[in-house]
């Protein structure tokens, strides 16, 4: 009785351990690859990884404090949010000033344009970062998909 109990416990533990092992295996295997990108004439013409953005998601990412949080620094046509920063220029109508490729470069790595900028490089290569907290080591600020979502949203700001 007690022997079968302990066997049960052991097999339960083994099962849990296996789940954890598989879990961590999956996360390491599925960690987002870094898609290399090319800048030409201060534009990134091709979508990162050939991904297709979703403007509605991009709008949410622009608001979310732990994501793009573009509202921290920019005014945007997002009336339900009471506070918009004014560190950067207003993005209202930005798509009539900048092309898709120009917008993508600005979201990916504004430092290519202005090395002294305060704006984060949302898809800057992590090798450039110093003293990064453990949880974020080797990771870009946004994923390639999130960048494409934001670009898709910016393109609606005519």
Partner 1 sequence: MNHTGMINPFIKLICTILITYWIGSAAYAQPPRSGYEFLTESTREMQDDEFANPGMVAVERGQKLFNTPGDSGKTCATCHGEDGEKLNPKKIAQYPVFNREFDEPFTLQKQTNLCWEDQLENAPLIDDSVDAVALETFVRHQAKGETVNVDINGPLKPYYEAGKELYNTRVGQLDVACKHCHDYYAGKKSRGQVLSQGQSNGFPIYRLGTGRITSLQRRLRECFVSFRATPFDFGAEEWINLEVYLHGRGNGLKIETPAVRY
Binding site for ligand HEC (CB under 6 A): 62, 68-70, 72-74, 87-89, 91, 94, 97, 103, 106-107, 110, 113-114, 117-120, 122, 150, 154
> What, of ligand HEC, partner 1, none, does residue 144 touch, CB below 5 to 8 Å by kind?
none
Contacts for 95 with CB less than 8 Å, ≥ 6 apart: 103, 154, 155, 156, 157, 158
> What, of ligand HEC, partner 1, none, does residue 141 touch, CB below 5 to 8 Å by kind?
partner 1
123, 68 Cβ separation under 8 angstroms: no
> What, of partner 1, ligand HEC, none, does residue 103 touch, CB below 5 to 8 Å by kind?
ligand HEC
73, 119 Cβ separation under 8 angstroms: yes
- CA 154 to CA 158: how far, in whole Å? 8
Residues 85-114 contacting partner 1, CB under 8 A? 85-87, 102, 111, 113-114
75, 82 Cβ separation under 8 angstroms: no
> What, of ligand HEC, partner 1, none, does residue 83 touch, CB below 5 to 8 Å by kind?
partner 1
Residue 3 to residues 7, 13, 93, 126: CA-CA distances in angstroms?
6, 15, 72, 52
Count of residues touching partner 1 (by CB under 8 A)? 33
Which spans of this chain sit near partner 1 (rule: CB under 8 A)? Answer: 41-42, 71-73, 82-87, 102, 111, 113-114, 116-118, 120-121, 124, 126, 128-136, 139, 141
């Amino acid at each position: 009785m007690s022997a079968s109990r302990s066997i049960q416990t052991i097999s339960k533990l083994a099962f849990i351990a296996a789940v954890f092992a598989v879990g961590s295996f999956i996360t390491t295997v599925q960690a987002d690859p870094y898609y290399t990108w090319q800048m030409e004439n201060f534009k990134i013409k091709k979508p990162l990884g050939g991904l297709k953005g979703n403007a509605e998601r991009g709008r949410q990412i622009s608001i979310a404090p732990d994501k793009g949080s573009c509202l921290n620094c920019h005014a945007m046509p997002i009336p339900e949010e009471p506070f918009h920063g004014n560190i950067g220029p207003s993005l209202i109508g930005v798509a009539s000033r900048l092309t898709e490729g120009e917008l993508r470069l600005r979201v990916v790595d504004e430092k290519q344009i202005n090395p002294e900028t305060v704006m984060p490089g949302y898809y800057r290569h992590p090798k450039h970062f110093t003293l990064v907290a453990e949880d974020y080591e080797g990771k870009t600020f946004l994923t390639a998909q999130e960048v494409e979502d934001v670009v898709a949203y910016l393109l609606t700001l005519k």
